């Protein structure tokens, strides 16, 4: 049987492909997967979904920072971000937090979509792709002025 980090080579042999699964969340997903110098984060949402979208978006950056650190990288190495925002009217509030959190001159590609999320109390979810390594780490996210 082929294991989770192996693949058949076509010659009946098994080869390790070097995928790292960081912080698995049960049998369905890992919070981080790393391979070939890239890091993929599962969608990060607020722990307290009773808050409005502005408060929920405030909770995600610290979770992303912690997961990136586990993968031996940081936010300055983010190459791509997708923000799943339940209500497009919250776009401005999302930008306020995002703009403070991103390091000037090192902003990733950015896509914001308005989906129907599977977990209905969740107002925003952020998906990240990053590279391993890079320049100096950005300062921690501080409070965003109203």
Q: Which of 71-75, 80-84, 92-96 has the lowest mean pLDDT?
A: 92-96
**Alpha carbon distance 94, 124 (integer Å):** 9
Contact 129, 78 (CB under 8 A): yes
Mean pLDDT of 86-96: 88
User: Considering the entire predicted model, what is its pTM?
Assistant: 0.76
Give the pLDDT band (50/70/90) at residue 14: very low
* Mean per-residue pLDDT over the chain, rounded: 81
The CA angle 116-120-123, to the nearest 5 degrees, is: 75
104-129 tens-digit pLDDT:
888 899 899 988 877 778 888 999 99
**Alpha carbon distance 57, 124 (integer Å):** 6
CATH architecture of 20-131: 2-Layer Sandwich (3.30)
């Amino acid at each position: 049987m082929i294991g989770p980090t192996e693949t058949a080579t076509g010659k009946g042999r098994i080869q390790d492909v070097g995928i790292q699964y960081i912080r698995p969340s049960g049998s369905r997903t890992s919070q981080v997967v790393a391979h070939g110098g890239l890091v993929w984060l599962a969608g990060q949402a607020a722990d307290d979904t009773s808050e409005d979208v502005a408060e929920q978006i405030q909770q995600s950056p610290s979770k992303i920072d912690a997961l990136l650190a586990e993968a031996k990288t940081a936010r300055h190495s983010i190459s791509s971000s997708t923000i799943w925002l339940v209500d497009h009217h919250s776009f401005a509030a999302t930008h306020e937090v995002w703009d403070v959190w991103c390091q000037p001159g090192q902003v990733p590609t950015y896509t914001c979509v308005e989906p129907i999320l599977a977990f209905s109390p969740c107002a925003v979810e952020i998906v990240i792709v990053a590279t391993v390594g890079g320049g100096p780490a950005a300062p921690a996210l501080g409070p965003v002025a109203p």
